Amino acid sequence: MTKAPLAPPIAERRQHALTQHGVTRDDPYSWLRADNWQEVMQAPETLPADIRQYIEAENAYFAEAFETPQAELTETIYREIRGRIKEDDSGIASPDGPFAYNSRMLEGQQYPLIVRTPRDGGAETIMLDCNAEAGESYFGFGAAEHSPDHRLLAWAADRQGSEYYTIHIRDLSTGTDTGEVITESAGDVTWLPDSSGFFYTEFDESHRPFRVRRHRLGTPQTADEIVFEEADPGFFVGIGETLSRKFITIDVHDHMTSEVWLIDTDAADSAPRLVSARLAEREYDIEERDGRLYILTNADGAEDFKVVTAPAADPDAANWTDLVPHVPGVLILDTVVLANHLVRLERVEGLPRLVVRDFRDSREWTVKFDEEAYSLGMSAGYEFETSTIRLTYSSPTTPNRTYDLDLETGERTLLKEQEVPSGHNPADYITRRIFADAVDGARVPITLLYRASTKIDGTAPALLYGYGAYGMSLPAAFSVSALSLVDRGFVYATAHVRGGMEKGYAWYKQGRHETKTNSFTDFIAAAETLLAEGYAAPGKIVAEGGSAGGMLMGAIANMRPDLWAGVLAVVPFVDVLNTMSDETLPLTPPEWPEWGNPIESRTDFERIAAYAPYEQISSQGYPPILALAGLTDPRVTYWEPAKWVAKLRVSKTDANPLYLKTHMDAGHGGASGRFDRLKETALSYAFALSCVGLA
């Protein structure tokens, strides 16, 4: 007897009336939000039985309807991607005093080794083997910070996917942990200059990093002194250090406003002092050199940021003096301050560049590359007294290259080029940068990757990826994964929609809060441009986005379901109105500047309700949809995609596949191991191929 196919689960409807600003609405799937969600984040087994039953039913349905039938294709794609990765691979050592610190990956292993060698040569010491620490469970490696005297290693791990980290202290002379731990931290560690302890951040009851404590080695966590505490639930707190090591920095920020507090390392027991009090929508961060602060800021209308200086002894904004003036359209993304040089990473017309200034004579020169689209990054390492900075370069066709840049001579030294063991010839691929005309006339960049043999005649399938939030830009970088679609004839397209900062800070402002819907219409315009210019076939565009990009997926599925062959929504932020109306959730108060506050503002309530993917589900046909979630995700809680799929299931009028897969032991980033993550990508790509008839 042939087994009947498993029917898709239908979630129970339970009446739940909500009234805001005089508007009453019913949310029949509200029960999927566990009342004990904070407990679930750290102990997934405490999830209420009725919720677990529904989520596991969705997982079982997905396994039978798609995952098992497509297991062979998924495994093939996984093997392809894994074959492009050099499994036994080392990073590039960063010198610090007598040692050079590095990380290595071993063949067949999921997690890195944290290692060091004597700076002048000698045997390598494995300080931490994350594979041995991980075991068989989820293992979210947070950080590993060596002490200034190089005797100890503070390392942090999250074992639930909930982003609660336990900090361990390892004695590097013995290679074993001391047994001293800090639990339920945010995972960041900044050592005291004498190595007698460290600063760390901890969460409030809503999983918001809000407090900095000072821990002295050998004392219990309960004795740790509170150094700083932020009362406003809309702000997050972080801890760091200037590269000069003159100051410990406490950064307080939401998505649009920041302030910095300093602790002199010569007096590390002193109270922090304020640089300049927060001012709505003013951002700044600091570095130090020779008693002056170098401040990257958007103050005084510098929308694309400028660099100012101030005396470290009296750094209030009244004393800020322009060093690098604001130039509209030249977005300063980051700065590094070294003993003799200021290096800034800028973006102009969507392409990055490095600009180097010599403090001694104010001479400036620029580092840029010639490809049509590429990504560029920089890192400073541990040392301040150096004339070398590390830069990384790649493009969709060119594997990652790492250089040391000599700031005195301009010479680039290639340290490493990403190996693709299965072979890769950049000449076999084409990278293009084209533009879509948005509904209001804005020009939306689209980065394309396809095989040179792919016909651009309106017959190819395409995957269109987007994000568009928080000012985060999508780099035009090399991806070993994307090649599995491209080699099967896909055009891989990235839509740089508003909400990111690809075209400057104004590009971000035009895709947040009051203008959020620009992100959605930009993405739709990008899809229409792919069709109009022959890069994609009608009915063969698969859309993909994750987190805030998952909101984008939900919105475009509601607005233009006809455009998509399928939609991949990874940990999708789709229940926007309810989440932004729940101030107990970890990210809600800090997110109000990004989306609006529907609790206080009727205008914000109405605006969000008009686009929120969950609210706007209607009785219409929808494309095939795969939603991926994590049970212990504190950023996009598991119930958002669960509610979305439950409502879609009974609302849509088509017979297209609708799947929800929830990782029962992982959070926002999915599986923790590098190969397990590849399996998730392979599964997503198998879904994309099935949507266009290639599975």
Q: Which residues are catalytic?
A: 547, 633, 668
- How far apart are alpha carbons 56 and 49 in whole angstroms? 10
3-state secondary structure (DSSP) of residue 527: helix
- Helix %, strand %, coil % of the chain (to 5): 25, 35, 40
Alpha helices in 220-364 (DSSP H): none
β-pair type (17-20, 23-26): antiparallel
Residue type, position 172, single letter: L
Residue 129, Cβ density class (10 Å: 0-12 exposed, 13-18 middle, ≥19 buried):
middle
- How far apart are alpha carbons 636 and 624 in whole angstroms? 22
Residue 148, Cβ density class (10 Å: 0-12 exposed, 13-18 middle, ≥19 buried):
middle
- Cβ pair 115, 103 in contact under 8 A: yes
Q: Return the sign of the alpha-carbon dihedral for residues 621, 626, 630, 634.
A: negative
Q: Return the sign of the alpha-carbon dihedral for residues 678, 681, 687, 688.
A: negative
- How far apart are alpha carbons 220 and 658 in whole angstroms? 51
- How far apart are alpha carbons 380 and 641 in whole angstroms? 39
Q: Phi then psi for 146, rounded to 5 degrees? A: -80, 150
Contacts of 534 by beta carbon, 8 Å cutoff, 6+ apart = 456, 457, 458
3-state secondary structure (DSSP) of residue 79: helix
Residue 46, Cβ density class (10 Å: 0-12 exposed, 13-18 middle, ≥19 buried):
middle
Q: What is the CA radius of gyration of the chain?
A: 25
Q: In the block, which residue shows the tokens 């731990």?
A: 181
- How far apart are alpha carbons 41 and 495 in whole angstroms? 33
- How far apart are alpha carbons 92 and 84 in whole angstroms? 20
Contacts of 419 by beta carbon, 8 Å cutoff, 6+ apart = 86, 89, 399
Tell me the two tokens of residue 80.
């392809």
Q: How far is CA 595 from the centre of its chain?
A: 18
- Cβ pair 387, 340 in contact under 8 A: yes
Phi-psi region of 215 (alpha: psi -120 to 50; beta: other; left: phi over 0): beta
β-pair type (364-367, 375-379): unpaired
- How far apart are alpha carbons 110 and 87 in whole angstroms? 9
- Cβ pair 446, 508 in contact under 8 A: no
Least Cα distance to 416 among 391, 381, 438, 397 occurs for 391
Residue type, position 373, single letter: A
DSSP 670: B
Residue type, position 341, single letter: H
3-state secondary structure (DSSP) of residue 438: coil
Helix (H) or strand (E) holding 495: strand 491-495
3-state secondary structure (DSSP) of residue 69: coil
- How far apart are alpha carbons 563 and 557 in whole angstroms? 8
- How far apart are alpha carbons 660 and 56 in whole angstroms? 10
- How far apart are alpha carbons 432 and 395 in whole angstroms? 10
